[in-house]
Copies of this chain bind each other. A is one copy, B any other.
Amino acid sequence: MKLILTEDKNEMGHVAANYLLGHMNQQRRVNLAITAGRTPVSMYEYLIPQIKNKTYYQHVHYYNFDELPFKGQDRDGVTITNLNKLFFIPANIAHSQIHKLTLDNYHNHDNKIAGDGGLDAIVMGIGCDGHFCGNIPGKTKWANKIVKLPILADEKGYIADSEYNGDTTLVPDHYVTMGPASVMQSRQLILIANGESKADAIKQALEEDITENVPASILRLHPNLVVILDKAAASKLTIHTIE
């Protein structure tokens, strides 16, 4: 594990963007999986002007690592919708470079990724509960590859609030995510976090037990993990430099 301590969210995003650009500079096809959410906003702001309409980055492909569908609607899910807004549309990424994950294609997405050459890197955030991608405490199993998981009735209110503007009727009964056994196959993992609210999850993931109750704790077994934190997210770590 390489731990990079940055001053603030802005620097965190710049460093993460530089990692992605480093991968993009390979001559062969590059396969990335990138995260939506609030954490990576500065990363995308930094990337967009460097990527937009640049033919020299047309060999870069993007794969969704999770998806929350809209119940009963034939439209793109929450994750891809957010990624479109955050990055794909402002950076003018071609549809042919974007590989969606859906309830329909998830069975074959691991095979597709392997056939396309495997992932070079995944950029992920972490939840306050220690989740990464859609790997939630109590649901995820280390052995899960890309998997369809249930959303229980008593979870719908929370998920509606965080992802569906409070509309519980849109929350589906299932979602899909790359599980730990899929994520760990990527040649590099990049974990980003900022803010005091993430400090406990970071502490648990990086310095305490490796347990399915804190899904992100598995990531530190990857031989090529980079963790990019701001000071607040790192504030509860006892070991500040780890190689």
Contact = CB atoms under 8 A, between A and B. Distances in A.
Interface residues of A, number: 42
A180 B4 CA distance: 23
Given A14-B50, A28-B117, A243-B27, A221 B21 contact: no
Contacts of A241: 55
A27 B14 contact: no
Contacts of A15: 56
24 contacts: A2-B27, A4-B56, A5-B55, A14-B50, A18-B18, A18-B25, A18-B50, A19-B25, A25-B226, A28-B118, A141-B210, A142-B209, A142-B210, A142-B217, A142-B221, A143-B217, A180-B210, A181-B210, A184-B223, A185-B223, A186-B223, A218-B221, A221-B222, A222-B223
- Closest 3 pairs (CB-CB, A-B): A22-B22, A142-B210, A184-B221
Given A142-B221, A181-B220, 12 more contacts: A5-B55, A27-B224, A27-B243, A28-B117, A28-B118, A114-B243, A141-B210, A142-B211, A143-B209, A143-B210, A187-B223, A223-B223
